[in-house]
Structure 1
Amino acid sequence: MPATLAEIARQAGVSAPTVSKVLNGRAHVAPATRDKVEALLREHGYRRKRGAARPRPSGLLEIVFHELISMWATEIIRGVENVARQEGLTVVLSESSGREEMGLPWVDGVLTRDPAGVILVMSDLTAVQRELLVSRDVPFVVMDPAGYPADDVPSIGTTNWQGGYTATRHLLDLGHRRIAVIGGPESVLCSRARIDGYRAALETGGVDCDALVRHGTFQTEAGHRIARELLSAPAADRPTALFAGNDVTAMGIYQAARELGLRIPEDVSVVGFDDLPVSAWMGPPLTTVRQPLVDMAEAAARLVLDLGRGVQPGMRRVELATSLVVRGSTAEPPPGAQDA
């Protein structure tokens, strides 16, 4: 038989009510104490019984961003809000300050808030964190996971590889051969997939551009800095087109081109990724790969709420399609620049 709560309390050096608070995810337990009790509960096999969905008195739906600083995040919040409004829930936000994994204090806060569900955006959970959420029946979904999610972790993503391939194929079809890419962090799954799609398109076209692969941060500043480096090369070596890992990076590329006296698309073509609302208003309007951020966020919200109701998904990994939106930032390369 498993140890009683009183025995676990004795082993942890706390009172039985404290153990009960931890078991039920209640507040007012010191993090160090909670960690000790949680470890003992896991050791003795305590976890909430499965079955009918447990009511969530908090009425919260939580979104966790690794960085909450761009228009990209706004689109995701909008999608989750659409579903939350229909369900009578309130959306709360957390941020991991650029870390791909959330720290333990965040888990302690989640157990205290007891949300209807947690949507992690470009963030990952450790095995211990997953176990803590599972043991308290707090459903969670990862959207655009930073790394490969575990088999039992539901996730929502988009066809990043296909998007990278389509963007690069568009530039090749226009006649470009010196095509650079500025991705996001090398450790992030969606960035790697977009660059892999880029490489595949170049290989299919018989073009070798390994020297033109750059890893950025998905932020404007990195796009600007790296684009200045690439576009400052002599005309014979300068890329005639740049594929940006996201639209925010493309904004930095636009600024770098302006500073160097280069015209878009006459001197250099630019393709982004996301199709943020601002992309259509850039000068010139940005050709970009549309990933349906609002639709992805709505799908993640519905999935996590279904999990909370005990409905198991037909698929653990869902990918929504990307599509190319051609606007004014891409054209044929300058005369004489077609040959690599």
Structure 2
Amino acid sequence: MPAAQSTRRATLSDVARAAGVSVPTVSKVVKGRTDVAPKTRARILALLDEHGYSPRGTAPRDLPRVIELCFDSMESTNNLATMRGVLKAAEPLDVDVIVKITPREIDGATWVARVTDTQHSGIILVTSQLPEDQREQFSRAGVPIVVIDPINSPADALPSVGVNNFTGGYLATKHLIDLGHTRIAIIQGTASECSHARLAGYHAAIREADITPVDEYEEHGAFRFQDGERAAERLFDLPQPPTAIFAANDLEALGVFEAARKRGIPIPHELSVVGFDDSLQAASASPRLTTVRQPFAEIGSTALQVLLQLAEGTPLATQRLELTTHLIVRESTTTPPAP
């Protein structure tokens, strides 16, 4: 009795192994690129036909497109809001979304092979760093990528979606100044372009109000609860402690809450606090946290739209999209205490 034939769909890796070439080379032939030697091209075309390979985009029209949504971690509630935005936008477009954690110990070629083998339409990376070698691997294989809220601005050729961090930092500080505060500290986040932009917004508002900057009022952190707590403790120990603190994210702001609780400093009567993100914790904190809102769901839906444009070969008007931030005033800020 003859052996049953495998029903597994042929992949680019299968063809690449048979041809003795790389997956990106096979991908170039599939996409009609001309930068492949004629003999190699002919061999790959013959193997594609022999293996019955169906290139990306030739699946039956009733099958949905599939994209990957990769996070650096799922510890942040902000990531849940971003995922919700992607999923909500994908549903009416008949796009399936596979959620993953970004591979940590994987080389670019292996990751590219996994994506091309499954014929996914592209990848959305959230708060992740994509090494240059991996970016080049995906580019050569023709796999579209969009980055959301990167720690640092990605390469010019890599589209990204985020917010205007400078404006957010300015709005937070200007709000405290408008309440009458002049001793305003900032707890920064991880050394990165987004953190530097929030700091620049803080500086702009301070200069505009003609307030003398105080070096000791600029603390460093890494976007974590414990960073906010420790930085606040140092600020409280200054001879002239601040009456207001702008934290680079909500987690740091909540760390300030904890440090103030331990010292018996009531918020907002003796200390005003502003965060950045408008996370789920911001609205449930006690007192509820004044913060700068990042529209995470809208960021997710926008990233999906950009990715689908890339997958369809539609030119982008810009490689970087920055959405608007808004100040959400709640209960953690008020006028400074009387001298």
The Cα of 1:164 is off from its aligned counterpart by 0.1
1:64-75 superposed matches below 5 A: 64-75=70-81
Q: 1:19 aligns to what SS in structure 2?
A: coil
Paired with 2:226 and 2:144, the residues of 1 have a C-alpha distance of: 36
Q: Which amino acid aligns with 1:19?
A: V
Paired with 1:219 and 1:167, the residues of 2 have a C-alpha distance of: 19
Q: Which residue number in structure 1 is paired with residue 295 of structure 2?
A: 292
Distance 1:134 1:283, change over 3 A: same
Unaligned runs of 5+ in 2: 1-15, 28-34, 45-54
In the alignment, is the contact (CA less than 8 A) between 2:24 and 2:137 conserved in 1?
no
Q: Which residue number in structure 2 is paired with residue 9 of structure 1?
A: none
1:276-287 superposed matches below 5 A: 276-287=279-290
Is 2:333 the counterpart of 1:335?
no
Q: 1:301 aligns to what SS in structure 2?
A: helix
Q: Which residue number in structure 2 is paired with residue 5 of structure 1?
A: none
Q: Which residue number in structure 2 is paired with residue 86 of structure 1?
A: 92
Q: Which residue number in structure 1 is paired with residue 21 of structure 2?
A: 19
In the alignment, is the contact (CA less than 8 A) between 1:118 and 1:140 conserved in 2?
yes
User: Which runs of at least 4 in structure 1 moved beyond 4 Å after TM superposition?
Assistant: 20-25, 42-48, 55-59, 105-108
Paired with 1:90 and 1:225, the residues of 2 have a C-alpha distance of: 43
1:184-223 superposed matches below 5 A: 184-186=189-191, 188-206=192-210, 207-223=212-228
1:293-312 superposed matches below 5 A: 293-312=296-315
Q: 2:168 aligns to what SS in structure 1?
A: helix
Paired with 2:160 and 2:82, the residues of 1 have a C-alpha distance of: 15
The Cα of 1:85 is off from its aligned counterpart by 2.2
Distance 1:214 1:303, change over 3 A: same
Distance 1:113 1:249, change over 3 A: farther
Count of residue correspondences: 300
Q: 2:267 aligns to what SS in structure 1?
A: coil
Distance 1:194 1:239, change over 3 A: same
1:233-244 superposed matches below 5 A: 233=237, 236-244=239-247
Is 2:185 the counterpart of 1:180?
yes
The C-alpha deviation readout for 1:90-111, integer Å capped at 9, x for no partner, is 33334358x8x98535445434
Q: Which residue number in structure 2 is paired with residue 33 of structure 1?
A: none
Q: Which amino acid aligns with 1:145?
A: P
The Cα of 1:196 is off from its aligned counterpart by 1.0
Distance 1:158 1:55, change over 3 A: farther
253, 275, 278: which one pairs with 2:278? Answer: 275
265, 268, 282: which one pairs with 1:265? Answer: 268
The Cα of 1:77 is off from its aligned counterpart by 0.9
Q: Which amino acid aligns with 1:331?
A: T
In the alignment, is the contact (CA less than 8 A) between 1:63 and 1:120 conserved in 2?
yes
Paired with 1:331 and 1:174, the residues of 2 have a C-alpha distance of: 6
In the alignment, is the contact (CA less than 8 A) between 2:282 and 2:288 conserved in 1?
yes
314, 319, 323: which one pairs with 2:317? Answer: 314
Q: For the aligned residues, what is the CA RMSD?
A: 3.0
Distance 1:44 1:267, change over 3 A: farther
Paired with 1:279 and 1:194, the residues of 2 have a C-alpha distance of: 18
In the alignment, is the contact (CA less than 8 A) between 1:114 and 1:138 conserved in 2?
no
Q: Which residue number in structure 2 is paired with residue 225 of structure 1?
A: 230
Distance 1:59 1:265, change over 3 A: same
In the alignment, is the contact (CA less than 8 A) between 2:25 and 2:36 conserved in 1?
no
TM-score, normalised to structure 2, is 0.79
Q: 1:77 aligns to what SS in structure 2?
A: helix
1:30-45 superposed matches below 5 A: none
The Cα of 1:172 is off from its aligned counterpart by 1.1
The C-alpha deviation readout for 1:64-108, integer Å capped at 9, x for no partner, is 3233211111111111111222233333334358x8x98535445
In the alignment, is the contact (CA less than 8 A) between 2:64 and 2:94 conserved in 1?
no
Distance 1:170 1:43, change over 3 A: farther
User: Which has the higher mean CA deviation after the structures are superposed, 205-214 or 244-253?
Assistant: 205-214
In the alignment, is the contact (CA less than 8 A) between 2:189 and 2:221 conserved in 1?
yes
The Cα of 1:215 is off from its aligned counterpart by 2.2
The C-alpha deviation readout for 1:182-223, integer Å capped at 9, x for no partner, is 12111x221111111111111222230332212212121222
Q: 1:54 aligns to what SS in structure 2?
A: coil
Q: Which residue number in structure 2 is paired with residue 36 of structure 1?
A: none
Distance 1:307 1:258, change over 3 A: same
User: Which has the higher mean CA deviation after the structures are superposed, 246-255 or 155-164?
Assistant: 246-255
Distance 1:162 1:92, change over 3 A: same
